[in-house]
Amino acid sequence: MNNRIDNCLTQLKEDKEKAFIPYIAAGDPNLNTTVELVKAMADAGADIIELGVPYSEPMADGPIIQKAVQRSLEQGTTLPKILDSVKLIRQTKQVPLVLMSYYNPILQYGLEDFVKDAVQTGVDGLIVPDLPVEECHQLFSLAVEEGLYLIQLVAPTTSNSRLKQVVRYSRGFVYCVSVTGVTGVREESNSKICDLTGEVKDATSLPIGVGFGVSTPEQATDMAQYCDAVIVGSAIVKEIENNPDNAINIVSKLVADFKSALAS
């Protein structure tokens, strides 16, 4: 089964380029804007786009994303509505799309139905930050069957034996968390990422994405030497919060800046 994530990352590797992956909270400021933001980010050079599914207890998210999630929930955003939005995006764009969702909304939806509907609407990958690898087997099996990629997270605190488990149950790429704790904008990137990505490279041939704490194009350039893809969330979500009426233009420019920084 062909997955857009594989196609994208393979092509970029051949071209000796790094992938830029922006994250936004779906439904912030509303789902209509989310659809337009995704299209605009794809046009501005985003290689893969991560859409956050709002949940009332976002444990892995820092204050910027927590506020975005709250705004989205106030708009009545739900997982079924997000999948409807993905359908709209797919009418014109083929950019790979990854949903980042806590386990509860998926469980409420029904695992089997969710995986089938996600693939049918055009979702390529899934990140579930609160689902430990030891408990992911059922979701992983369903996802593999339908061609949906379950992308696992590793942190500087991940042990070597656990890392082997994580890469075994990961598809598409491995998501390296560059700092421990919640997401957010930080002044300096964590130097531990060099050691972490080295360990992941020893354990798997899957591409490596780095996120959590990358907040400027300069940091993205710095981080790119260790990985295949750089993931940026809070810095983009912050711009949406500050400029809800002009979010599309401002975010497009920011995405273009990040992408050109990675190309330099």
Active-site positions read 50, 61
Nearest to 172 by CA among 190, 150, 154, 157: 150
Contact 52, 23 (CB under 8 A): yes
Contact 194, 208 (CB under 8 A): no
Three-state SS for 112-158 is: HHHHHHHHHHCCCEEECCCCCHHHCHHHHHHHHHHCCEECCEECCCC
Question: In the Cβ-directed half-sphere of 164, how many Cα atoms lie within 13 Å?
Answer: 2
Residue 86 tokens read as 């993905």
Residue 262 tokens read as 């990675």
CA 154 to each of CA 65, 122, 143, 196, 208: distance values in angstroms, whole numbers, following the listed order? 20, 26, 20, 8, 10
∠ Cα 248 249 251 (to 5°): 65
**Looking at residue 9, what DSSP letter applies?**
H
**Looking at residue 225, what DSSP letter applies?**
T
∠ Cα 71 72 74 (to 5°): 65
Which uninterrupted H or E stretch holds 229? Answer: strand 229-232
3-class state of residue 163 by DSSP = helix
